[in-house]
A and B are shown apart, each in its own frame.
Chain A
Amino acid sequence: MNVNDKEILLVEDNEDDEKLTLRALKKSHIMNPVHVARDGVEALDYLFCTGAHAGRDPDRLPQLVLLDLNLPRLGGLDVLQRIRADHRTNALPVVVLTSSKEDEDVLKSYQLGANSYVRKPVDFGEFAEAVRHLGIYWLLLNVQPPIPRSGQ
């Protein structure tokens, strides 16, 4: 299995941020496919193959979730909580990628089981650097948890 086959789920409602994130990934030569979910509900539908994603193969989990916190419908912290509560996804690497630097957001994210918390800098150079580090670490260096079979 090629490393690049491993998918990234980007949960982001802002199109500008989506474009900039994708650009930063590309500049860091991270060519993995990226699925973008526009809000929390869509993200959970994709992960658990429900709603619009009912036909998707549930065994194909993304390698990494980049999760914004301020999302329409269902917030990022709620999404994180659902991911950790389900046995299929409770070991999935989730990196919180957000504008907020509030202590409360940082603390809650870690308490709910985020693997990392990265604040998006205004300076695109810094942002691109951060995304590059994330990609290298989570997609190349980090040893993934074994993917649980559905029905287990």
Chain B
Amino acid sequence: MTLVGGLVLRTASTFVETTYWVEHTEEVIVALDDLRIVLVDAEAARRAYSLTGDESLLEPYATARERTGERQAAIRRLVSDNPAQVERVDALGPLVDQRLKYLDEAVTHRRERGFDLEWEASAVAARRSAPVRAAIEAMIAEERRLLAERQSAVRASFDTMRGVLIGGTCVSAALVLLAFSMLRAESDRRRRSEQALRVSEESLSATLHSIGEGVVATDPSGRVVLMNPMAERLTGWSVAEVRGKPSGEVLRLVDERTRDAVESPLEQALEQQASAAFSGPTLLVARDGVERSVADSATPIRDARGELTGAVMVFRDISAERAAELQRQKDEAALRVARDAAEAATRELEAFSYSVAHDLRTPLRSIDGFSQALLEDYNDVVDEDGKDFLRRVRAAAQRMGQLIDDLLGLSRVSRSELHRDDVDLTALAREIGGKLDQAYPDRVVDFVVAEGLRANADGRLLRIVLENLLGNAWKFTSKQANARVEVGVAEDGGGPAYFVRDNGAGFDMAFASKLFGAFQRMHKSTDFEGTGIGLATVQRIIHRHGGRLWANAAPNQGATFHFTL
């Protein structure tokens, strides 16, 4: 473009120069013509005077000398740049003087001699005018030649300019087209990215408007640049009011407990150039003084080059959660108090149990021991009735000892902690069955335990359960010729229900409600001995596991006890 412009400029300046020279040439020609006309007019005036003798007709002749001088000076000035023409002007001067001298002679001749036809007719005058005319015409011719030359130069220059212009225009047009297409591509690209940006901004804006979290963004100096509607609602300030203000003026944060001002995570994020969050429960004090528990985090924002451009904080009203949390803490404290009280009561109970175990059993031992001593040492003195009474005293003492032991067992079951573990129920049942076989060697019991019974339970307590259930099964099948005891598992509403089944005495389901109460017995003690605490203990253990215990039975048709854990 610069090149084309330069060409055009140069062509144009040539054109302007050439035009000047055309005008100049014409000026020179006009001036030469003027000179010629002055001389012709002067000759015409002389001839008119010669014919009429009227002196008044000589005026053009009288001023001719002066006027030719002016014209010659003008011509000299005009052609001063052209040495060839200057030479011609110099040569023209004597010729003009010669002509003027001839005119002077002719006028003088007429005045002195009157009209002289012979003189007039002589070619002298004509001859004498010819050199001037020839010189002027030569100059004009030269000027015309120069003009033609200059005009053709102008034309050439004009053609060049036109060519240059046309070429330049073409090049320019091409360049313009190229530039246009580039601009257009650029603008398309820009429009597309602007559109993408707009879409992204719109979705960002929609997100910012709709999310339940307050969002505040600042510039690197911590001045607010953006707040979403939730942030406006939580702080009580509109973004228009606070834009450009330090974030600390908008986000007034205090520690929930101490009520000391808390540095906003925004400031921390900017200072430390790292994400930040509150360390403890924090309250946001809104413009109207309303306090809300908030949870938040802030993070510095960096541009593509990693320069810090600001920070953004996201915060959430957790008043409800916080209230629930505080309530929960209060409940927990109350629970702790209750638990402490319960534990104190349990400790008291333990002390009591210990005392029962030690102190109640000691006199029983004396009752039993000395009754036995009487029977042994005074065998000859005491008669059979007396011996029977002493045996009853001993039996009662031993039974009371058993009752105390069972009650202590029941209380221990309630006190001890539950330790759940994977328990091999099959192995446990077989072990207990083996012990029962040893304890009652005269009994023959068909004992069947399902393979692979496992339970997640407290092994120690589960052992007590099986000891009681299997002990009962052994006991209540004692009058059965073909005693059979079975341990297995059935489905109960998706979970396993373990069972212990016997074909023994069974019981009437009408009394099933009494089955699991302490000291409740379904049979006369003369038929089956027992304290009536075993099933109460079993039920307590099952309940401690969160399970259920139930029984199915009929008199003389056996009983089945189911339990879940």
Binding site for B on A (CB under 8 A): 14, 16-17, 20, 23, 70, 98-103, 120-125, 127
Out of A16, A103, A123, name the residue touching B398 (CB < 8 Å): A123
Q: With contacts A101-B357, A101-B405, A101-B408 known, is A125 near B372, CB below 8 A?
A: yes
Contact with A along B405-431 (1 / 0, CB 8 A): 100100010000000000000000000
B397 interface hit (Cβ, 8 Å) = yes
Q: Which residue of chain A is the closest to B366 with respect to CB atoms?
A: A16
The docked-state distance in angstroms from the alpha carbon of A23 to that of B365 is 13
Contact of B369 among A20, A100, A102, A103 (CB under 8 A): A20
Measured CA separation A14–B362 after assembly (Å): 8
B351: min CB distance to chain A, Å: 11
Closest chain-B Cβ to A40's Cβ sits at a distance in Å of 15
Taken residue by residue from 390 to 410, chain B's Cβ proximity to chain A (1 for < 8 Å, 0 otherwise) reads as 000010011011100100100
Task: Give every chain B residue within 8 A of A120 (Cβ-Cβ).
Answer: 361, 365
Interface pairs A-B: 3 shortest CB-CB: A122-B401, A16-B366, A124-B369
How distant is the Cα of A98 from the Cα of B359 in the complex, in angstroms?
A: 11
Asked if residues B397 and A122 are in contact (CB atoms below 8 Å), the reply is yes
Shortest CB–CB separation between residue A81 and chain B, in angstroms? 19
A98-B365 contact in complex given A16-B370, A125-B372, C-beta closer than 8 Å? no
Q: A16-B370, A98-B358 are in contact. Are A127 and B365 (CB under 8 A)?
A: yes
Interface residue range, chain B: 20 to 34
Majority secondary structure of chain B interface residues (helix, strand, loop or mixed): helix
Contact A99 B369 (CB under 8 A): no
A-B contact pairs, 17 of them (CB 8 A): A16-B362, A16-B363, A16-B365, A16-B366, A20-B366, A23-B369, A23-B373, A99-B361, A100-B354, A101-B408, A120-B365, A121-B401, A122-B364, A122-B397, A122-B398, A122-B402, A127-B365
> Given A16-B366, A17-B366, A122-B365, are A99 and B373 neighbors across the interface (CB < 8 Å)?
no
Q: What chain B residues lie within 8 Å of A123 (beta carbons)?
A: 368, 394, 398, 401
Given contacts A99-B358, A123-B401, 14 further A-B contacts (CB under 8 A): A16-B363, A20-B365, A20-B369, A99-B357, A99-B361, A100-B354, A101-B357, A101-B408, A102-B354, A120-B361, A122-B397, A123-B398, A124-B371, A124-B373
Complex Cα spacing A123 to B358, Å: 15
Closest to B368 in A: A124
Q: Which residue of A has the minimal Cβ distance to B416? A: A103
Query: Distance (Å) between the CB of B362 and the closest chain A CB?
Result: 6
Who on chain A is nearest to B460 by CB?
A103
